[in-house]
Chain A
Amino acid sequence: MKNIFLILLFSCSSLLFAESFEADINIHVKGLVCDFCARSVEKTFGKLDSVEAIKVDLEAGVIYLDLKENQELNDEIIKKLIKANGYSLESIERNP
């Protein structure tokens, strides 16, 4: 019974985390059409010290970045990384 409770608790917390992804930056990109593309940007942005978490929405063509506390990532670096991965930057949105 205790195990079942723990599994349920873990599942709920996972769901809660998935729902509660709050991005600091939304990067709108052209050409993001497949899993290899998503993997590419995930690996590149994942190497940055300032990035806490990444989520890629292929349907919307948006990369969501959650930054670590008190960390910043300027537009120039974002532009450079998107270009280096072979995609075209549309816009960068910063969430307050």
Chain B
Amino acid sequence: MIKHLLYAFLFSLIFISSYENTTKVSLNARPISYPESWTLMQQLNWEKINLHYHYSPNIKNSIGFVYAKYDNEDEQLYAGQWNHLLFRKNEKKSQANLYSKLQLGQLDLEESDESYFHLDYQLSYDWETRRHFYAVSLGTTYDGPEESFTQNQSARIGIAPYLVDYGKLHTWLMLQFEHHPNEIDSDNRLIWTPLIRLFKGDVLIELGVNSNQKLLFNSIIRF
């Protein structure tokens, strides 16, 4: 347990001390599902609405399609995404994962009618017990040629206020942090979002309001 907390701490240090530019932040729960299953993930936040539909042939990989519409910039993204489990450590009361997420696609700008090549790479670490949750995500995005490479960081901590058996309604209270260094003189430079996660069977829902009073609504359905 101490080792995993140490990993989380090291990731946090990188997160805190990080970079100069950022745009797209993604901190999805469980980006790979159980073998031979489909997953639909939806995200709505201050920045965008995002749909991610993917198939997991095994526990190490998932491959799927992403569509995103950005709120303020009239941008639409069409991309393929490959998630890969690099590392998993199972303990009796905990599980830790390190995921790699690669996104390749096209970013369309509606106003100027231009399209750019899009690349996004995320490295995400999570550690959870039945009571506690910790996740950190670091990544880089390329939306050429103007924006070039940018970096992004996010982190999340959570606690389950009560424990119930499998199949019943699980509740998590969480706090998400996002760092957007490129948002100079903006309220979006550092955002924190308290949220509630509700989880039952194959369905997960998250609802929150961020420090700028913008809504966050995420959902995951497994098939």
Chain A contributes a number of interface residues (CB within 8 A of B) equal to: 24
B128 to chain A: closest residue by CB:
A33
A31 and B167 contact, CB distance less than 8 A: no
Interface size class of B (residues with CB under 8 A): 20 to 34
Which of A34, A37, A40, A59 gathers the greatest number of chain B CB atoms within 10 Å? A34
Task: List residues of B (108-163) whose CB comes within 8 Å of A's CBs.
Answer: 128-130, 163
Evaluate contact between B35 and A30: CB separation under 8 angstroms: no
Q: How many A-B residue pairs have CB under 8 A?
A: 69
Distance A87 CA – B128 CA, assembled complex (angstroms): 14
Quick check: is B95 within 8 A (CB to CB) of the other chain? yes
B34 & A39 in contact (Cβ 8 Å cutoff):
yes
Q: Does A44 contact B (CB under 8 A)?
A: yes
Which of A31, A35, A90 has the most CB atoms of chain B within a 10 A radius of its CB?
A: A35
Interchain CA distance A51-B194 in the complex, whole Å: 43
**With A and B bound together, what is the CA distance between A61 and B201 in angstroms?**
17
Q: Which of A30, A34, A39, A90 contacts B130 (CB 8 A)?
A: A34
Interface pair A59/B163, CB less than 8 Å apart: yes
* A window 1-45: CB within 8 A of B: 29-31, 33-40, 43-44
B residues lining the A interface (CB < 8 Å): 30, 33-35, 37, 58-59, 85, 88, 90-95, 128-130, 163, 165-167, 170, 199-202, 222
> Using a CB–CB distance below 8 Å, which chain A residues touch chain B?
29-31, 33-40, 43-44, 56-59, 61, 84-88, 90
8 closest A-B pairs (Cβ-Cβ)?
A31-B90, A40-B34, A86-B59, A38-B166, A30-B90, A88-B90, A31-B95, A56-B166
